[in-house]
Chain A
Amino acid sequence: MEERKIKKMDDNEMEECDMGSDEDYYNDPDPDVTHTDNDKDPESFEYKILEVVEVEMLLNTSVETMCKTIDVSPSLAKLLLHNYSWNTQKIEAEYRQNPEQLLINGKIKPSKIAKGVSRKNECIVCAQEVDTLLGVECRHRFCETCWCQHFEVQILNGVSTAIGCMGTDCTVLMPEDFVLSILRCRNQSKLSQQYQELTFRSYVSNHPELLYCPGPNCTAVIQAKAKEAKRVDCKKCKTTFCFKCGIDYHAPADCDTIKKWLIKCADDSETANYISAHTKDCPKCQVCIEKDGGCNHMKCKKCGHDFCWMCLGDWSAHGSEYYECSKYKENPNIANESEHAQAREALKKYLFYFERWANHDNSLRKEKDKMKEIAKQIEEKVTTKDGTWIDWQYLNKAGELLRRCRYTLQYTYPYAYYMLKGARKELFEYQQAQLESAVEALSYDIERAVLDSRGDIENKMDVVEKRRLTLVREFLVT
């Protein structure tokens, strides 16, 4: 069933791909010039990185339009938009149908108006006689002190756009201007600022086109047409994340797969912990080796043996097209084995994928340090007249590309873990192995680069990005 579904999708995709390229070929005046890699990259999409002020402008534009369309104050329009997830079309449609019902659904008007609840000028919350009672559309009226305390309790609990009325069974929500005017009267400037920050966050999180950058302490807001599982690179804090789920970008895996995988990793962390140890013994001379770079091609400093960090096998088998280290070999007879053996097999399978996933994560971090080192070395070389600054720039580009490819490679492992056995998985594993071997080759060269290795490295860069795109284009469901 699953298999057929996947297969069908491919056919469609392929058709689309073919059609696309034909059209491009005929319609594009000069395909060779205008087509950069980004155009073809199935991961890229259009997005903008906005500052807080720009987001405010964007929201205010929607609010102004809304005020003109239906006759409400800006504050109520904002509340209405928020409760309808900023879907102006839906609001307008409902307004044309039944304007009264729209305001009730939008939690601006009550379904039934409260009649003379208070005796004289008594606030029923604090049981005190006061000069003036205040309230909004629902006509539940309370004193300023009580409103203020109510807002304080709610805001300190992190509630902002969802602050309700204090009346029994009242569904009406408090508009921004009412809350702010009460807080201003009571000189609660700190609370008022907190409230505005909370409401702003709340508006953004309910907006279908906006997403907060998940980077630590980053205030950037990303804007794109729709919530698609596409890659966003925050220019401000350099975080790379998925626009749909807001966590680390994860192609070729989809949002659900990666969520499942991360939960699994968190649950099984104890068993998996031992693997993330950073040292292994050289398979030939048994000397303890610490991995200090990102490359999996290890060369023992003591005996000169070339081996693979992942499988500890001879590296000579990895450089060629028979790179098999990324493939998990399932026990073909497993269905007939005991429950115990099956459980062990399941754990073994998970550990296989987890180990590779965690190893790439580790390599990414180490390569980041390595790139800093390389940048320093370039500086030194330039000052000692060993080539010019421009001569060495290819290395920085290579480092950036390596990072991107290794990143995709990391996320191929959760994808493969959940894949069903069959021809499709074999194709995936073949392409994964191709990418794996190209990444390691590039990584090895970068760590050992000299001035005249430029041509060689640029060659490898070309190969590795092509392989990455082939895999992503084939398997990323868009």
Chain B
Amino acid sequence: MSNIALTRIQREFKEVIKSDEVKNCQIKLEPFEDNFTHLKGEIIGPPDTPYQGGKYTLDIVIPETYPFNPPKVKFLTKIWHPNISSQTGAICLDILKDQWAAAMTLRTVLLSLQALMSAAEPDDPQDAVVATQFKQHPEIFRSTASFWAYVYAEAPRNEKMKEYEEKLKQLQEMGFHEKNSRITALSSKNWDLQAAMEFLLP
């Protein structure tokens, strides 16, 4: 790691720890195994979104040329969002690509991700299936996103989830044992049991 990158990261740690967001438990930042090149971030699902109350862990890799190149960030917690891959957690966000500026910090990145969770951009999708659902069936999108938040991010449960759990159970009884693929199949097929089954069959 270059000198500039190390000084910067150390400074940014101080900045994040002192920030209001940390005091309100909105964001968190810590190193992976005492190593400043690989960090772990955490953001809380913003209010009035399907992600409300969820805890989202992020994988952050600091490049050798930081801060002149952006950090590489992806979601470790599975999330249902048009601009985030439901499979890999890869993020489509301009400031993590060509709109990065050296004066930006990890705190800006974490806050921008929170903003992205509040305001998706379905016309610039990372996950085409989710983006289509977002545009064509906004109701199903919202309940699916909050179901994922409940299952993967410890967000609170609501009434709608009973129906979804029932469908998951039915699929399981048909012999589909892998939970994640059952959730993905049903979510991708707008919770149509028949379509999800066909999706899962080889």
Contacts and interface: CB of A to CB of B under 8 A. Distances in A.
B119 interface: no
A166 B108 CA distance: 14
A315 B84 CA distance: 65
Nearest to A125: B102
Q: Chain A interface secondary structure, helix, strand, loop or mixed?
A: loop
B7 A150 contact: no
Interface stretch (A82-90, A167-175, A286-294, A296-304): A167-175
B7 to A, nearest CB: 5
Contacts of B65: 149, 153
A424 B4 CA distance: 69
Nearest to A152: B68
Contacts, number: 43
A167 B99 CA distance: 11
Interface in B1-23: 4, 7-8, 11
Interface in B72-107: 101-104
A269 B68 CA distance: 43
Interface string B4-47: 10011001000000000000000000000000000000000000
B7 A125 contact: no
A149 to B, nearest CB: 5
Contact of A146 (B69, B102, B104, B108): B102
A126 B4 contact: yes
B113 to A, nearest CB: 16
B101 A169 contact: yes
Interface string A129-154: 00000000000101001100110110
B50 interface: no
B53 interface: no
A338 interface: no
A166 B11 CA distance: 18
16 contacts: A125-B4, A125-B103, A126-B7, A126-B8, A127-B8, A145-B4, A146-B4, A149-B68, A150-B102, A153-B69, A164-B101, A168-B101, A168-B103, A168-B104, A169-B101, A170-B101
Q: List 4 A-B pairs, minimum CB-CB distance, nearest first.
A: A166-B102, A127-B11, A153-B68, A125-B102
Given A125-B103, A127-B11, A149-B65, 6 more contacts: A117-B103, A126-B8, A142-B103, A165-B101, A166-B101, A166-B103
